[in-house]
Structure 1
Amino acid sequence: MRLVFAALIVLMLPLPGRGCDLALALAVDVSGSVDAEEYRLQMDGLAEALRDGVISEALVRARAEVMLVQWTGSSRQEVTLPWTRIDSFAALDRFAAEVAAAPRAWRNYSTAIGEALQFVLPAFERVDHCARRLIDLSGDGLSNEGVAPGAVHTQLNRAEVTVNALAIEASEPDLTAYFFENVITGEGAFVETAASFRDYPARIRRKLLREVTKQSAALPE
């Protein structure tokens, strides 16, 4: 059944062309609440999800531009991997390997979601040739420092940048609702939920599958 579903999705994807269909900024939480094992679960899980057959096919066909950002407290955001054109499976494999190998930028700081969004937003000026612009933000806590994430929504909407979120509810059981009300914005924006960091690899795969194939229907587990 999964193979049939994957085949149908691939048939619905745009064929490669000159342009870029998707600019995707992957924003990963490295705040103090994330320990070393949880950081590794995020990076390995994200790399594995990017290599998924349907996701990698979609990114290559879309000639996607993808970047990786690590973020934590106020004034602590980093472009770990700059915009990278995914125009072949070799390029996808290289990017995924760099994600898995990326060293952690910070360890003991707060959670500034609004500032993370503000930091990523100007980067889309470099990929204004892409038809869709998307921030994929994951986190395990409420924003507790810096500008409120909702205060950035007007700027994001003006730039036609959509924000989706993955709420890791390891210590914040109501985080999905908070992300829904305060973090996500844009047409079709949604929140995916991971019950714990160990649930992250499966959920980031599910989230990316929905994002890169532009599907809004429920996906199989």
Structure 2
Amino acid sequence: MWYPKVPWLLSVLVTGLLTVAPAWHRAPTDVDLALVLAVDVSTSMDPDEQNLQRQGYVEAFRSPLVHHAIYTGMLGRIAVTYVEWAGAHTPGYQSVIIPWTILESPKDAIAFANGLARAPSHRVPGTSISKAIDFSMALLSSGDFRARRRVIDISGDGSNNQGGLVTEARDKAIARGVTINGLPIMLKEPERGENATLDAYYRDCVIGGSNAFMIPVRERKQFLMETRAKIVREIADAAGPGSLAHSVGGRPLTECDTSESVWDDFAPDPHAPGIGSGHDL
């Protein structure tokens, strides 16, 4: 049987395979840091506080100080995503606002900031720091990069009141080599003592891992400066002012078990005698 000579066809096939093959086997991008910015949008944050919080992150990534911190890293690039979080029961409300983005130049960082500035804001009931940590951990496993360090950056104005125990979520993250840092927002007058001790709550119950720290914000004029300082410190992995985490496993100085799963254990049975008379306890 006679077979026609088709060298041109073989050439096209080989060229096509060489073009496509790198896409099949493309190695993940190596970065100095994978950073999840996990930001509280619960209804306890009033619109003015939310705008101030958002603007803090926008201005941070426009700052030459942040650009310099990225450039002077071992590889000179980081991966960042911006996440909003609230309660455990609102469908889907742990939400990615800006997906994983590689930053390796001032242009990249400014584009990230501009995208964040244009994104709409939300307000959602509930505060589930534990679910925010779990959601962030899933994101850290989904990025197309290899990171030398992985950090979850939690900012918020209240303690965990929905979902699982925050200490369990924190400890699981630390066991996988992830650091959790915090920015407790303490701008309001103390309410039943919670706001007055939120920095201690973050220190004892939320942050942890290698070089973990938290920086409380007590005045509006601090917000832009402290947010920028926190991000520079996270990128550089350098020591600085702020409260450090206690070692995991030590006895915390603060009551950490504030989630609904714990309070349910102490709630009275509404069907028990004398309960359910229509009066709240």
Alignment TM-score, normalising by the size of structure 1: 0.85
Partner of 1:95: 112
Question: Structure with the greater relative contact order (CA < 8 A, sep ≥ 6): 1 or 2?
Answer: 1
Give the 5 Å matches for 1:157-176. Answer: 157-171=174-188, 172-176=195-199
Q: Which has the higher strand share?
A: 1
Cα pair 2:211 2:237 within 8 Å, conserved: no
Distance 1:168 1:96 in 2: 21
- Paired residue type of 1:29: D
> How far does residue 45 in structure 1 lie from its aligned partner after superposition?
1.3
Give the 5 Å matches for 1:67-146. Answer: 67-75=81-89, 76-105=93-122, 107-127=123-143, 129-146=146-163
* Range moving further from structure 2, 77-86 or 195-204: 195-204
Distance 2:232 2:102 in 1: 18
SS at match of 1:217: coil
Return closer, same or farther for 1:113/1:196 CA change in 2, 3 Å cut-off. Answer: farther
> How far does residue 197 in structure 1 lie from its aligned partner after superposition?
4.4
Give the 5 Å matches for 1:196-215. Answer: 196-215=219-238
Partner of 2:6: none
Cα pair 1:111 1:142 within 8 Å, conserved: yes
Partner of 1:33: 44
Partner of 2:62: 51
Q: 2:33 aligns with which of 22, 26, 43?
A: 22
Alignment TM-score, normalising by the size of structure 2: 0.68
Q: Deviations over 1:61-98 (max 9, x none)?
A: 53100000000111421011110000222111110111
Consecutive unaligned residues in structure 2, runs of 5 or more: 1-28, 189-194, 243-281
The root-mean-square deviation of aligned C-alpha atoms, in Å, is: 1.7
The number of residue pairs the alignment matches comes to 201
1:151 and 2:165 aligned: no
Q: Percent identity?
A: 34
Cα pair 1:41 1:198 within 8 Å, conserved: no
Distance 1:35 1:86 in 2: 31
- Paired residue type of 1:52: S
Consecutive unaligned residues in structure 1, runs of 5 or more: 1-17
Q: Deviations over 1:90-137 (max 9, x none)?
A: 1111101111222123x2401110010011101111345110000111
Cα pair 2:41 2:86 within 8 Å, conserved: yes
Cα pair 1:69 1:77 within 8 Å, conserved: yes
